[in-house]
């Protein structure tokens, strides 16, 4: 069996004309919350073998406490950048248990595509989907809000 977690980046700086979108950072609150979210995620999904991350600064900063919890190295991948399609990355992942750190609406579109589901849904910043792959099909096992993840630590 294969399992994939799709984690949305934490609370970040607002977009501005002065800063490139990929350079936006997590806020102080976003960093603090991501530490707690990372601990909660490690409790609910202890099996992670790899962390793939968007090259955006806010996604990297989100992945850092997660990587620390798991003792893993972050692997940046352009397929997880804002507005990109990461479907091919799912097929190319060599491990059975992985975490993808990225952006909305890309992560929700990926989850809907993988599970062949139709819905209007969006992850909150710091929230995640857990997707189980069994044979040729995938199913949404859980969707956890950042509040729930922080309480699980």
CATH number, domain of 80, equals 3.40.50.1240
- Facing residues of 8 across strands? 102
CA 138 to CA 90: how far, in whole Å? 11
What pLDDT does 19 receive?
Answer: 87
Q: What pLDDT sits at residue 87?
A: 86
Which residue numbers in the chain have pLDDT < 50? none
| pLDDT of res. 85 | 86
Alpha helices in the chain (DSSP H): 28-44, 57-70, 87-92, 106-115, 146-152
pLDDT reported for residue 135: 82
pLDDT of residue 136: 80
Q: Is 135 left (phi over 0), alpha (psi -120 to 50) or beta?
A: left
Residue 4's nearest CA partner among 110, 119, 122, 145 is 110
Q: Which two tokens stand for residue 105?
A: 């609406």
Question: pLDDT tens, 46-74?
Answer: 999 999 999 999 999 999 999 999 999 99
Supply the pLDDT for residue 27.
97
Specify the pLDDT at position 2. Answer: 94
Separation CA 108–CA 129 (nearest Å): 8
Query: What local confidence, expressed as pLDDT, does residue 17 receive?
Result: 86
Residue 66, Cβ neighbours under 10 Å: how many?
25
Q: How many domains does the chain fold into?
A: 1
pLDDT score recorded for residue 96: 96
Domain that holds residue 131: 2-152
- What is the dihedral angle through the alpha carbons of 40, 12, 51, 84, rounded to the nearest 10 degrees? 130
């Amino acid at each position: 069996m294969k399992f994939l977690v799709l984690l949305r980046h934490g609370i970040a700086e607002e977009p501005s004309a002065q800063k490139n979108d990929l350079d936006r950072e997590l806020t102080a609150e976003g960093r603090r919350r991501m530490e707690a979210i990372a601990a909660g995620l490690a409790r609910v999904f202890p099996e992670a073998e790899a962390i793939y991350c968007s090259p955006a600064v806010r996604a990297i900063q989100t992945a850092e406490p997660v990587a620390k919890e798991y003792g893993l190295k972050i692997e940046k991948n352009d397929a997880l950048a804002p507005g990109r399609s990461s479907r091919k990355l799912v097929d190319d992942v060599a491990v059975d248990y992985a975490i993808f750190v990225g952006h909305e609406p890309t992560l929700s579109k990926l989850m809907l595509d993988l599970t062949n589901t139709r819905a209007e849904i969006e992850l909150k910043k710091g929230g995640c989907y857990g997707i189980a792959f069994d044979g040729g099909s995938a199913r949404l096992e859980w969707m956890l809000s950042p509040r729930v993840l922080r309480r699980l630590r």
